[in-house]
Chains A and B, each alone.
Chain A
Amino acid sequence: MKDVRPWTYAALFGTLWGAIEATLGTAVHLGKLPLRGTIMGLVGLLCLVCLRRLQPRAGVCLLAGVVAIFLKVFTLGGLYPGPIIGIGVQALAMEIALTGTGGRAIGAAIGGFFALATNPLQKLVTMRVVTGSEAVRSYLRLLQESTAAVGLEGLSPTVIVAAIATTTGAVGAAGGLWAWWVAGRVVRRLGKRV
């Protein structure tokens, strides 16, 4: 990179993402608020897509993810693996999707899908590390009972997790397109060519 801007942009947008994760993210995660992963995922998408539209260079999303993880680590319970894995996976998904599609809107949608679809899996992995396999089994049973309560009996935990992943992935795809639109407005606001 001859121009220093991709580095500083990645640093600053990663800082913004990390700061939001460290404040709002910590609050919603420790408060166990519903849809916390999705909300924080959308914030991440916004930062990443905007960064990529302002600095269309391969690698910037990944670097921003590293910066966000770095800042997230230095907060209350920062070494708690869930959000760290989440940020890493999200940055990787957006990087691959946006680089693979040549930085197009469709890339934001695909990246958004995979970034948020991995949320339930990441949640299970984190739960396994922090609370052990019994908590995972309890959680899966809770899911089965909940789906049975709404009339969807006999579904296996795998099917339920896959359904949740697909739903959050669809929200992520829509979120990716929304982030693309917002990023376009930011680019215009800064007087740059879209």
Chain B
Amino acid sequence: MNRLAGFLLAASVGVVLFGPPVYAGWAALIAIVAAWILDPPALRAGLRFGAVLAIVFAASITAAVVAWAAGPLRGIELGGMVLLRLLVLTVATAVLVRSINAETLLRTTRKIGMERLGLVLGLALNSLPRLVEAAADVWTASRIRSDDAVARLRRLPGVGEVLLAHTARIAEEAAAAASLRGHSALTRSGNVLRTPVRVVVVTGPSSSGKTEAVTAVADRLQGADLQVVGFVQPGEFVEGEKVGFRLRDLATGQEAPLASLSERDDGDFGTRFQFSEGGFQLGREALSRTAPKSVVIVDELGPIELRGQGHMPAVRKALAVADLGGAMIVVRRSLVPSLLAELDASDAVVIDVESEGGRSVDVIIDALGARTLVG
């Protein structure tokens, strides 16, 4: 039944678009009935009041122009034709939309030997909500900063610029995630982080205690006379909102500001923050002390590092030191796939501090293989 309805829908669209006008009305009716048999909710979604109104408006414009040029009767005839054509196209689209998702796309394109295209289109479908969310955030931020419509309009190019930068950032994250999934069609990136030691990846949502857990682990390791190198990046908060980061060298306790929230839309690396070279410099110094047997702690790596910038060159150098005691990297949850995709380590353990709760510190120490040393 569904197959017949699908065939009737496709045939009706063809008749309305290219067939003789005398059959267009019947064909449109058949298209609507076929769509109702195939997917009633899709038909209802396609023929919303606003959509129908827009179609009627578009057809009316055509009718008016033709009526002016060729007479009222011809105007009405052609306006009606446009109405039917837009109607069947809308109905056909509504039915088509509901039957497509990333998985079916991939299956279909794989069958015809175009897996890469399927992956790209699937990525487009999956990333659409995130992109819409980013656009809404950018627009909201712009509205908050500009009171009147003229000022908002003047800021429009800036808004577009920020949105394009966000899009690039999401593309970077998607690239790493696609590599992680190991799709044979999309190969790994060349930006590989190599280390002979097991890497413990610590993750969790924002403000879930990642930095506190890592600091506690560092204290326990230092208490057992192990050499700990690296840094933590505690956030700075004002009235509960994160306004910046500081970088603290775990070996010396020295601190430097790393990032502060930008007042305008001019954050660095496509973020909301402006970064300070002093913070990066202290990070480089902290990691430069890496020696055999030392435990490297990096809190944290973000999208900037996963693009090979920020702390990444220093981290790569530190992790390449032979005979390390261990390595621990903090990343937010959404970046775990990206980090693992970049990591060419002997193995990696992912620990979520939210799931582990109060046991986080012990679980991390166990994962580092340092239990016998710290007791």
Tell whether A190 pairs with B270 under 8 Å between CB atoms, given A5-B172, A74-B100, A138-B70: yes
Tell me whether B171 and A31 are in contact (CB under 8 A): no
Name which of A7, A8, A11 has the most chain B CB atoms within 10 A of its CB. Answer: A8
- Report B-chain residues with C-beta under 8 Å of the C-beta of A5: 171-172, 175, 189
Are B124 and A11 in contact (CB-based, < 8 A)?
Answer: yes
Per-residue A-contact encoding for B265-309, CB less than 8 Å = 1, 0 else: 011111000000000000000000000000000000000100101
Whether the pair A131, B81 counts as a contact (CB closer than 8 A) is yes
Q: Does A141 contact B (CB under 8 A)?
A: yes
Residues of B with C-beta under 8 A to A129: 17
Q: Are A16 and B179 in contact (CB under 8 A)?
A: no
A104 on the B face (CB < 8 A): no
CB pair B66 A77 closer than 8 Å:
no
For residue B167, CB closer than 8 A to chain A, the reply is yes
CB distance from A91 to the nearest CB of B (A): 14
B128 touches A71 (CB 8 A): yes
Decide: B58 and A30 in contact? CB cutoff 8 A. yes
Please give the distance in Å from A19's CB to the nearest CB on chain B: 6
List, in ascending order, chain B residues with CB within 8 A of A19's CB. Answer: 128, 131-132, 135
- Asked if A67 is at the interface of the complex by the 8 Å CB criterion, the answer is yes
Q: Tally the A-B contacts, defined by beta carbons under 8 Å.
A: 192
Instruction: For B62, list chain A residues within 8 Å (CB).
Output: 131, 135
Q: Which residue of B lies closest to A2 (CB)?
A: B187
Q: How far is the CA of A79 from the CA of B46 in the complex (A)?
A: 13
CA distance A132 to B16 in the complex (A): 12
1/0 contact trace for A118-153 toward B, CB 8 Å? 000000000001111011011101100000000000
Name the residue among A5, A14, A29, A191 with the largest chain B CB count within 10 angstroms.
A5
A116: chain B residues at CB < 8 Å are none
Residue from A16, A77, A131, A132 within 8 A of B55 (CB atoms): A77
Chain B residues 181 to 221 lying within 8 A of chain A, measured CB to CB, are 186-190
Tell me the minimal C-beta distance from A158 to chain B in angstroms: 18
B interface footprint on A29-67 (CB within 8 Å = 1, 0 otherwise): 111100000000000001100100010000000010011
Contact between chains at B54 and A30 (CB < 8 Å)? yes
Q: Are B128 and A4 in contact (CB under 8 A)?
A: no
Grouping DSSP codes into helix (H, G, I), strand (E, B) and loop, the B interface class, with mixed when no group exceeds half, is helix
**Measured CA separation A47–B164 after assembly (Å):** 8
Task: Choose from A46, A54, A67, A131 the contact partner of B124 (Cβ within 8 Å).
Answer: A67
**In the complex, per-residue mask of A64-87: 1 if CB is within 8 Å of any chain B CB, else 0:** 001100110111111110000000
Asked if B157 CB lies within 8 Å of chain A CBs, one says yes
CB neighbours of A80 from chain B (8 A): 86, 89
Contacts of B162 on A, CB cut-off 8 Å? Answer: 189
Chain B nearest CB, measured from A151 CB (Å): 21
Tell me the A144-194 residues at the B interface (CB within 8 Å).
182-183, 185-186, 189-191
Interface segment out of the listed B91-99, B343-351, B358-366 = B91-99
- Contact partner, B165, options A67, A139, A189, Cβ 8 Å: A189
Given contacts A15-B131, A54-B168, A74-B97, contact A7 B120 (CB under 8 A): yes
Contact of B82 among A18, A46, A131 (CB under 8 A): A131
CA distance A77 to B93 in the complex (A): 7
B145-191 interface with A by 8 A CB criterion: 157, 160-165, 167-172, 174-175, 178-179, 186-190
Known A-B contacts A11-B123, A74-B100, A77-B90; the reply to A4 vs B188 at CB < 8 A is yes
B60, closest chain A residue (CB): A32
For A15, what are the chain B residues with a Cβ–Cβ distance below 8 Å?
A: 124, 127-128, 131, 167
**How many Å lie between the Cα of A131 and that of B74 in the bound state?**
12
Q: Cα distance A139–B78 when bound, in Å?
A: 13
Alpha-carbon distance A141/B124, docked complex (angstroms): 42
Contacting residues of chain B (118-135) with chain A, CB-CB under 8 angstroms = 119-121, 123-125, 127-128, 131-132, 135
Beyond A4-B189, A70-B124, A134-B74, 5 additional contacts (C-beta under 8 Å) are: A8-B123, A8-B186, A71-B128, A130-B86, A183-B164
Write the residues of chain A forming the contact surface with B, with a CB cutoff of 8 angstroms: 1-5, 7-16, 18-19, 29-32, 46-47, 50, 54, 63, 66-67, 70-71, 73-80, 129-132, 134-135, 137-139, 141-142, 182-183, 185-186, 189-191
Interface residues, chain B, with chain A CB atoms under 8 Å away: 13, 17, 21, 46, 51, 54-55, 57-58, 61-62, 65-66, 68-70, 74, 78, 81-82, 85-86, 89-90, 92-93, 96-97, 100, 116-117, 119-121, 123-125, 127-128, 131-132, 135, 157, 160-165, 167-172, 174-175, 178-179, 186-190, 266-270, 304, 307, 309
- 8 smallest CB-CB distances across A and B, nearest first, come from A138-B69, A30-B54, A12-B171, A8-B175, A8-B174, A79-B89, A78-B93, A11-B123
